Homo-oligomer: A and B are copies of this chain.
Amino acid sequence: MLALLLASPAGARDERPPAPAVASEVAPALLAELTTRFGARPAGSPADRAAAAWLAGRLRAFGLSHVAIESFPILRWSPGDAAVDVIAPERRRLVATPLGGLVSGPTVTARVVAYDTYAAFLAAPADSVRGRIVAVLEALPGTADGAGYLRLVVMRSEGPAAAARKGAAGFVLRSLATHHERLASSGATKPLARPFPAFAISPPDAEELGRLATKGPVTLRLRPGAGWSGRAVTQNVVATLPGRDPTAPAVLVSAHLDSWEQGTGASDDGFGIAAVVAAVKALHDRPHRPLRSIRLVLFGAEEVTQPGSYPNFAGARRYIELHRRELAGIDLAAESDWGGGRIVGLRLPDLGDPGLDRRLAAGLASENVLVRTDRSASGPPDADVLKAAGVPLLRLDQDATLLFDTHHNARDTLDQVDMSALRQNVRVWTTVLRLLADRPLTPSPSPRPLRRAGP
């Protein structure tokens, strides 16, 4: 019962009775339908477009305004039918997936040179790498804030380029994952000027390869398959919840629609879509509109890099290009894209409203959310693109303990989602968006600092 009441926090001015019990089920139902009907949604795929059309229809049905599908062209990337095989000492296939945004080139068969850590590989002289297939077997440490991933993701994003520079014939890395499953995790790599085969292998396969390499020479064969499969169209889906003052700066809230090929993008980022859409719907369903408008953006093409002028985050870059003149009318942006954990923290930029942190902390008192100011907070990536364009970022931190069990792999499916965490996210986003959109246009001046006590 507590959960249901919290799902639609009743402000002092809210005269309607509490929302019906089903309100808390909007997000789980959206997420179930998105993942079940459309499955994986690689940018530019038919499933991506169908899911966008369906979501736009839902936003209209929910009563939001200015719902639009803003299409833009991309090059579609496909992992193809690639494979990684041990050829010697005995033949066997590894569980592997090509890194996103790379063109594999021709089949490569070469001896392996294995490194326990990325640092050891970087320190290795080019002589020891030239003509070999580099295998970096470093394991991702699991942490509640995902810091292990943020530290090691350079292995995936820059490792192939570093290997290519040293003259390597190919690159494999242990999947950036905290699980111990026979699953390979995809993820984007910085585009390279020439074809180069680069793969993530499953953690158990990485350990087998490490054991094999200690016994003697190992030869791997990297079979191509990955590459650009032609021009395609993807899209951002936008909508607005108009505020009481249409001239007031708006709040932008977002998530992303595309996923990798492996799973059904349930946590990355169906969870984010469900959380922010349900929160905006909850605010729409209240009798009192917030003061400021809320812009909802479901970005396309967050996952895959591009070889052209938009190297990555093409949806966010396209949004800025299309809406550049309106950006000054957005004074805060936030995105949900850090897996399916509960929200444990809120980092606030300087908005010139010294009471906001206290109002947020009070509104979130029952949710175990640490509210603090952090002007340097960054991410998720789409939000960073907006920040680079001058929009202050608000960051809601989620518990990422389990994120890298499902991240970019086939396990990112509905059954792995903690629906109670999703409901908590909806409650927190609803409260946060309400307080942000209702904050006064002219904040009260800062309270005068207390005079410091004497020595």
Contact = CB atoms under 8 A, between A and B. Distances in A.
A36 B203 contact: no
A155 interface: no
A211 B36 contact: yes
A416 interface: yes
A62 interface: no
Contacts of A90: 37-39, 46-47, 50
B36 A415 contact: no
A321 to B, nearest CB: 30
Given A36-B212, A264-B208, A415 B92 contact: no
B410 A182 contact: yes
A164 interface: no
Contact of A89 (B37, B182, B215, B264): B37
Contacts of A212: 36-37
A183 to B, nearest CB: 7
Nearest to A45: B91
A278 interface: no
Interface in A68-97: 86, 89-93, 95
Interface in A82-119: 86, 89-93, 95
A32 B413 CA distance: 32
Contact of A411 (B37, B46, B181, B416): B181
Interface in A170-193: 180-183
Contacts of A415: 180, 203-204, 207
A46 B92 CA distance: 10
A413 B204 contact: yes
Most chain B beta carbons < 10 A, residue from A37, A182, A264: A182
A46 B85 CA distance: 14
Given A46-B91, A50-B90, A182 B36 contact: no
B182 A92 contact: no
Interface string A17-50: 0000000000000001001111110000011001
Contacts of A37: 89-90, 212, 215
A182 B181 CA distance: 10
A310 to B, nearest CB: 27
User: How many copies of the shown chain assemble into the complex?
Assistant: 2
A216 to B, nearest CB: 10
Contacts of A416: 180, 204
Given A47-B90, A47-B91, A182 B411 contact: yes
A182 B38 contact: no
Nearest to A182: B410
Most chain B beta carbons < 10 A, residue from A180, A207, A208, A212: A208
A413 B206 CA distance: 12
Interface in A403-441: 409-411, 413-416
A35 B182 CA distance: 14
A208 B47 contact: no
A63 B36 CA distance: 58
Contacts of A40: 92
Interface string A351-366: 0000000000000000
Nearest to A210: B36
A208 B35 contact: yes
A181 B412 CA distance: 10
A290 interface: no
A315 interface: no
B92 A208 contact: no
Contacts of A160: none
B263 A414 contact: no
Given A204-B411, A208-B414, 13 more contacts: A32-B211, A36-B211, A36-B212, A37-B215, A39-B90, A39-B93, A46-B90, A47-B91, A95-B410, A181-B181, A181-B183, A182-B410, A203-B415
Interface of A: 32, 35-40, 46-47, 50, 86, 89-93, 95, 180-183, 203-204, 207-208, 211-212, 215, 262-264, 409-411, 413-416
- A-B residue pairs, 5 tightest by C-beta: A39-B92, A182-B410, A204-B413, A204-B415, A36-B211
